[in-house]
Each structure stands twice: as C-alpha cells, then as structure tokens.
Amino acid sequence: MINRRTALRIGGGTGAVLAAATLPRAIDQGLIFDRAQPGLKAWDDWNSRRYDGALSLVSAGILAASPHNTQPWIFGVSRYGVDIFEVPGRNLGAMDPFGRERLAGLGAAIHNMGLASTAIDPGAVVRLLPDPGDPGHVARIELGPEGGTPRPHPLLPMIGRRHTDRGAYQGGPTTAAQQIALRSAAGTPLLRIALIDPASPAGKRFAELTIASTQAIAADTEMMAASHAWFRHSRRDRDRYKDGLGIPTAGLSPFTATMGAILLDSSPATEGRYWIEATRETALPTASLFGLIVAGDPHDRRTAILAGAAWQRLHLTAIALGLAAQPLNQLPEMIDRDRQLGRPPRFATAANAILEDPLWRPTFAFRIGHPATPALPSPRRPVSQVIGQSAREDFEIERSRTETSAQDAAMARKLKAGQQP
C-alpha cells in the first residue's frame, strides 16, 4: 500500500509514466469512471424493497457487519420464516481462532433480520441456537400468523445507510444524549457497553494498546496471511466474490487511494505496515469516542452472537444520530491469539487498565466520531447466493406438525363441548 509520503517521493521524469500506469488500475479499482457494480446490488435490492415476506429478512441480514466482510452465513427460507446457519469455512483463521468474531457477524445479521421482521409481522419470534444437536444452526426467525399490523422499528431505515467508516473523522465531542443512546445498544444483561473519552487516561491507554495490538498482528505472519486472504485487490475480484475488503472502503483519501492503485497486489507485509499507519495516524487521533463491548464470557456462543447483535444495533444507532463508526478489534484479537498459542496473557492483562470491572472482558472494540465524508458500501453476496436447503424441510415439517396439533386440539375441544366441527 502506498501512502502520501511515499507518493511524493515519486518525481522527475517518471511522473507521466506512473500516471499512465495508474489510470487503468484506478479504473479497475472502481475509483474513477465508476460503473454499475454487481457486488453492490444487494444494497439496491434492500433500499428498493425488492423482496417481501421471509426473503425480505434475508435481504436485510446480508447487509449486516461481519469480520473482514467474510459474510459467514447461509439461510434456509420457508413461508414460516428463516433459519440462519454458520458457515465455518468463511473464517479468519489465526485472526479469529475460536470463531468468536464469526459468531458476532452472525449476530449482526440476526439483528438486522429481527428489525426487518417488524415491517411484515409484529409477532415474529427470534430463537437463538434452536437445535442443541446442531450448534451451527445459530438462529430461527419464526413469522407469526398473517393479519397483524406491522410496526416498523425506528432503526429499520438505517440498515441501508449503515457502512463502516474507516476514514478520518472530523473530531469534536458527542453529546450526553448521544452517549446514552449508544450505551443502550447492549440489549442484554450479558453485555455492557463502555464509552471512553480519548483524552482520558483510559482513552490514552486504549490507543496505546490498540497500536501495540496492531503491531503484534502485523508481525504475526499467520494472522496477516489470514487477513490478506480477504482483501480483494481489484474491481473484478470484488464483483466476482462480492465479499472481503478493498481500496474503495479502506478509508483512504482520494489521493492515496488513486496512488495506491498503481501498485500490483500488495503483500501481507505491506498491508500490515499500512494498517499500523492508518490506526496510529487516522483512526485513533480523529475519533470522538472509543468503546468496548464487554462480556462475562466472550467465548460463550450465545454471548458472542449477542455481542454481534449489540454492535449492529450500536452502529445503526450511531447512523441515526449522524455519527460514524468503525470496529477496532485488534486488542480482542490479540487476547484470543495469546490464548490460542498458550502464551502469557500479555494483552488480556494489559486490558485491565481500561476496564471498569476486570471480570467483564472485552469482546468488541470500536471508535465513534463525526463523519468527514460519506462512507462507501462494501460488496455483498445477494439473496440468491446465500439461500440453502439446510433446514427448510425440517422447519416446514415441524411447523406443519405444530399447526396440525393445534387444529386437532381445537377440534377435540369442540367435540367435547358438543359442537359441530
């Protein structure tokens, strides 16, 4: 990745040659001469309300946040609702050795789907981990009987506007009312949300630990290889895979993004160097707030799912308040990496300095601020690519049995009362 200082060292007679070489790459990256992008169609589908019924829930779910935009989900759809399944193969490897962040991404999708259900069915029920024999069956959303009056949730319109903003923020404080609204996003006693003033001792320690964690990740070849595998280096790849990260959503200035297009595909090492620089020079110094979602047991599957739902709710709330947000999960990732490798808990111990109660452990870290420019959408696999058969038949059979049993019971009561069926 090339930064402004590096670009400014390019001089003399090479400028025209580099400019000529940059243009095709910039076009390929979608930075100029923008065309319709297949990878972004899922956003248009949601905003135009292309789907209705159960499919509208999936249309909302696929726009949720997920680690490195891995989109670790597949859905079984029937007229009774939607089953949500984990896809372990869409993983971050050494960056997420216990699948904690993958489950958070699923929780974010479930939250979006729950919001979407309020527009079609006020009686919809969300059941987490509904099948004890299949932990990968992370949720089921059951639609109630038809005929109820929908009550769309106030955050529903934010689903199509929520994008991760990795760029520089404008700075400036947030109000007490905004902070109260953000803290309320926890949504369960299993989680708490801590907001940290960057100028406070805890805020300065948060920044130090985030930089140290980023440096540790950049020095870990396994972690960087796992991260790099989800970076899409060209417009063609983003349109083909419809997932992962890329230059347009990296939060770069137009100058840096365009100059970065001249390079061939960056390596994990160059990606790591850029990540450190962007964290130290952009993400941390321009934030208005730092934050942590903390939990008693971050690795409990239900808790990890709920943490993702809390992040999605917090981010949607931030958008509704006119704020920008970005995950800064390097510290929780290094805590997991130390645990995976059986090393002394260096980062877990250091985190105690920013925790109000050390018994509550960090599972998600983030920053909040005032956006300088609108954040761009990231690619998403469309509804047609994430529908699976997995539990559809079982769901329909189970629901049919329930309805049949209810009808049989009603018939029996009528007969007992001497009424005609």
Closest CA to 276 of 318, 336, 328: 328
| 137-142 and 289-295 beta bridge pairing | unpaired
| Among candidate residues 115, 118, 39, the one with its CA nearest the CA of residue 320 | 115
The secondary structure element, H or E, covering residue 305 is: helix 301-320
Cβ atoms 246, 40 nearer than 8 A: no
Closest CA to 352 of 202, 215, 217: 202
pLDDT for position 419: 63
- Of 374, 379, 381, the C-alpha closest to 166 is 374
Q: What is the CATH number of domain 33-385?
A: 3.40.109.10
Q: What residues pair up with 127 in beta bridges, in sequence order? A: 140
CA dist 193 and 183 (Å) reads 5
Reported as a single tens digit per residue, the pLDDT across 150-207 is 999 999 999 999 999 999 999 999 999 999 999 999 999 999 999 999 999 999 999 9
Residue 291 phi, psi (nearest 5)? -155, 160
pLDDT at 4 over 50: no
- Every domain of the chain and the residues it spans: 33-385
- Mean pLDDT for the chain overall: 88
pTM to 2 decimal places: 0.86
267 pLDDT band, cuts 50/70/90, is confident
Residue 24 — very low, low, confident or very high, per pLDDT cuts 50/70/90?
A: low
Mean pLDDT, residues 115-139: 93
Of the candidates 284, 286, 288, the one whose C-alpha atom is nearest the C-alpha of residue 322 is 288
Is the CA virtual torsion 352, 357, 360, 366 positive or negative? negative
The reported pLDDT for the residue numbered 295 is: 98
